[in-house]
A and B are shown apart, each in its own frame.
Chain A
Amino acid sequence: SQTIHQWPATLVQPVGSPLSLECTVEGTSNPNLYWYRQAAGRGLQLLFYSVGIGQISSEVPQNLSASRPQDRQFILSSKKLLLSDSGFYLCAWSATRRVGTEAFFGQGTRLTVV
């Protein structure tokens, strides 16, 4: 069966420090991968998605970047964190891009920038 792992679960980082959040998927190949951010009590905002190795699309301009060095690995990064980068970050995968394909989510990372 397919599983998705995301770490760390919680992170407190000072302003200006770098960030690296990692997400890996097991049990499938060539997944579509997504990074979402969720502000407290709000819905999800899509940050990045990837349909293959090295293929990254950004949905919103921001201080963050994403990379997909391997088929089932998706990394969210920042060189210098801002206070506004605080939030709950979720990685997700889906098998195809058909309308009927559900996305499966990792456990999320709660990032607090201080």
Chain B
Amino acid sequence: AQKITQTQPGMFVQEKEAVTLDCTYDTSDPSYGLFWYKQPSSGEMIFLIYQGSYDQQNATEGRYSLNFQKARKSANLVISASQLGDSAMYFCAMREPSTDSNYQLIWGAGTKLIIKP
């Protein structure tokens, strides 16, 4: 079963509008971490924001915020006042304790965001 699901393969958004990128996850572990990364066309993965499963408040980092709905197992990324430079692939990822103590990141398939001028 998919551990991380990103249902939007691609999105077009007008510059300066807010955008929400969806991410749902599946885990039975009470302790886990959720991450969002941005991958521009250059290829590098850029860490954006983190939400811990026990965090009481939604994470925010500048124009990025995470809409964490634990009961729905949802961790959507919200980008406020989008800019042309926000055009990129966005990946949701989860880390949970695993039996081999690897603590590896589990990745979604990504959403391609294109900001229109």
Contact = CB atoms under 8 A, between A and B. Distances in A.
Interface size class of B (residues with CB under 8 A): 20 to 34
B45 A92 contact: yes
Contact of B50 (A100, A105, A106): A100
A41 B41 CA distance: 11
Interface in A26-84: 32, 34, 41-44, 46, 49, 57, 59
A99 B44 contact: no
B12 interface: no
Contact of A99 (B52, B107, B108, B110): B52
A1 interface: no
A43 B97 CA distance: 21
B102 interface: yes
B91 interface: yes
Given A42-B110, A43-B91, A43-B108, A97 B43 contact: no
B103 to A, nearest CB: 4
Given A42-B110, A43-B109, A49-B104, A102 B35 contact: yes
Interface residues of A, number: 26
A108 B95 contact: no
B36 to A, nearest CB: 10
Nearest to A32: B103
A2 interface: no
B57 interface: no
A99 B47 contact: no
Contact of B101 (A43, A59, A97, A102): A97
Interface of B: 31-33, 35, 37, 42-47, 50, 52-53, 91, 95-97, 100-105, 107-110, 112
